[in-house]
């Protein structure tokens, strides 16, 4: 089992929580991004530096993913690929993507993208604070515990 993180858009607070969990549990955490992140370090924490090509980090995460892994991404199209491959996937706010809900999230994302392309998009909140981190941490701990029990 490993934790795969789409690190290009992963908030620093979330990265720190994942690194702490990786060190505590011994589960390898692999952060994939097209830029070097200096806070990625530790025996069980790896940085996968991907090319600048659009979608390179996403493709690397999909290539590394195996049954029993946990992926973290806010990228809904990537989450869709992972869910279709049977990979447990969370976003950085603790939402669990499932076969039952991924199409709805994808539809909403595509609708919002279309609105933005037509100049009608709602302003996006970039705020990520303690409330968002707690929601992520609660969900992450719950899902990680469940996957670890399955592996035993």
Predicted pLDDT of residue 17: 95
Predicted pLDDT of residue 147: 93
Selection from 78, 75, 44, 46 nearest residue 61 by Cα: 78
Q: Is 26 exposed, middle or buried (0-12, 13-18, 19+ CB in 10 A)?
A: exposed
Predicted pLDDT of residue 124: 66
Go through the domains of the chain in sequence order and give each one's CATH number.
2-151 (3.40.50)
Predicted pLDDT of residue 91: 96
Mean pLDDT by 10 residues, the chain (152 residues): 95 95 96 92 93 95 97 96 98 96 90 81 75 96 93 75
Token pair for 125:
């909140």
Instruction: Report the predicted TM-score, pTM, of the whole model to 2 decimal places.
Output: 0.90
Give the Cα separation of 102 and 104 in Å (integer). 5
Predicted pLDDT of residue 152: 72
Predicted pLDDT of residue 61: 98
Predicted pLDDT of residue 122: 67
Q: Is 12 exposed, middle or buried (0-12, 13-18, 19+ CB in 10 A)?
A: exposed
76 and 93 in contact (C-beta within 8 Å)?
Answer: no
């Amino acid at each position: 089992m490993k934790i795969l993180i789409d690190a290009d858009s992963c908030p620093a607070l979330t990265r720190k929580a994942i690194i702490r969990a990786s060190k505590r549990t011994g589960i390898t955490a692999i952060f994939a991004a097209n830029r070097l992140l200096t806070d990625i370090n530790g025996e069980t924490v790896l940085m996968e530096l991907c090319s600048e090509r659009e979608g390179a980090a996403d493709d690397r995460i999909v290539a590394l993913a195996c049954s029993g892994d946990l992926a973290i991404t806010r990228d809904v199209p990537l989450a869709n690929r992972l869910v279709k491959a049977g990979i447990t996937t969370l976003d950085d706010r603790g939402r669990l993507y499932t076969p039952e809900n991924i199409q709805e999230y994808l539809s909403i994302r595509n609708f919002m993208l279309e609105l933005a392309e037509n100049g009608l998009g709602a302003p996006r909140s970039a705020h990520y604070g303690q409330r968002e981190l707690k929601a992520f941490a609660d969900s992450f701990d719950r899902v990680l515990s469940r996957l670890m029990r399955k592996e035993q």
